Amino acid sequence: MRIRASVAALSGALVLSSALVFPAAAQAHAGPMTSDDDTTITKVVVNGGKDLVLGTTAKKSFTATVTATDPDGVTAGWVALWHGTSFDDQGRDATLLPAEEGTGSCVAADAQTSTCTVHFTVDPKTDLTDNAFAGTWHAYAIAYGMPSGSTNNGYAGTVHIKRNTTLTGDASPEPVAKGRTVTVKGALTRADWETGAYAGLSGRSVKLQFRKVDSSTYTTLKTVTSTTGGAVTATTTATTDGYYRFSYAGTTATDAATSSGDFVNVQ
């Protein structure tokens, strides 16, 4: 898909519409956007290839890079992030723009290849106001080659933007007689971007894990399901001194979480 770049002043913002806004400085670099098979985007990386996890208050700053080649050299590059079912105007429901008003800063690897970097800052209080925004976001990238070539890709990369999760675990009794029952209780909660608070996460599989006091490795004893309010409860038989914890694997939209190990002395 080829799209003509338009002048825009917006930057560092979430656009809650199908409109995709391009940097004003792009035209200064390359003029009207045209199809040029000589300019090629080879790689786009968002947040160093790692998931983005946001709670309810703290902002998150990160970068996105676009690497491109052109026989005559690359002059500029730019990346935006979009969410939705497809890249067309009907499919996009939100767009995250970089903080720069212009294109990103570029570093040349050689005469034909450059990597350009743009910076983002996401504020969950103002940018992620809908829990439906959690999950897979796509990268839209533009690259400009000399003297006036350009190319773009609406599916140049992906990043998972996830809701932060917390998980607690408390084992009792402490101490416990060998062969008696140990009960571990905790709570699984997840950031709610719409309310600005954390809420219990029910119906999720949570592993009860244990490691002996002289070991560094946890083993899974059983899997239980969180209930109303995110409550998690599991029982096991005490055999030896060690640490108990809960672990939740997460999803593409919800971050993984592991509670701190709680030591139980077996007598």
Q: pLDDT tens digits, residue range 53-64?
A: 999 999 999 999
DSSP H helices in 145-187 = none
| Count of domains forming the chain | 2
The pLDDT confidence band at residue 90, using thresholds 50, 70 and 90, is confident
Distance from chain centroid for Cα 167 = 19
Q: Are strands 52-54 and 149-163 parallel, antiparallel or unpaired?
A: parallel
Same domain, 87 and 117: yes
**Residue 170 confidence (pLDDT) above 70:** yes
Say which residue, 165 or 26, is predicted with more confidence.
Answer: 165
Same domain, 179 and 79: no
**Residue 119 confidence (pLDDT) above 50:** yes
Is this model's pTM higher than 0.85 or not? yes
Domain termination residue (choose one: 162, 192, 210): 162
Q: Examine residue 9 and state whether it is found in any structural domain, yes or no.
A: no
**Residue 195 confidence (pLDDT) above 80:** yes
Q: Which of 30-34, 91-95, 121-125 has maximum average pLDDT?
A: 121-125
**Residue 110 confidence (pLDDT) above 80:** yes
Give pLDDT tens digits for 221-247.
999 999 999 999 999 999 999 999 999
Same domain, 131 and 197: no
Among candidate residues 262, 204, 198, 212, the one with its CA nearest the CA of residue 231:
204
The pLDDT confidence band at residue 20, using thresholds 50, 70 and 90, is low
Among candidate residues 256, 234, 231, 230, the one with its CA nearest the CA of residue 245:
234
Question: What is the spatial distance between Cα 139 and Cα 137, in angstroms, rounded to a whole number?
Answer: 7
Question: What is the spatial distance between Cα 190 and Cα 34, in angstroms, rounded to a whole number?
Answer: 45
Among candidate residues 177, 174, 198, the one with its CA nearest the CA of residue 185:
174
Over range 152-161, report the average pLDDT.
Answer: 96
Residue 202 domain boundaries: 165-264
Same domain, 190 and 106: no
**Residue 217 confidence (pLDDT) above 50:** yes
Residue type, position 11, single letter: S
pLDDT at position 88 = 85
pLDDT at position 15 = 60
Same domain, 37 and 127: yes
The enclosing domain of 257 has a CATH number of: 2.60.40.730
Same domain, 139 and 22: yes
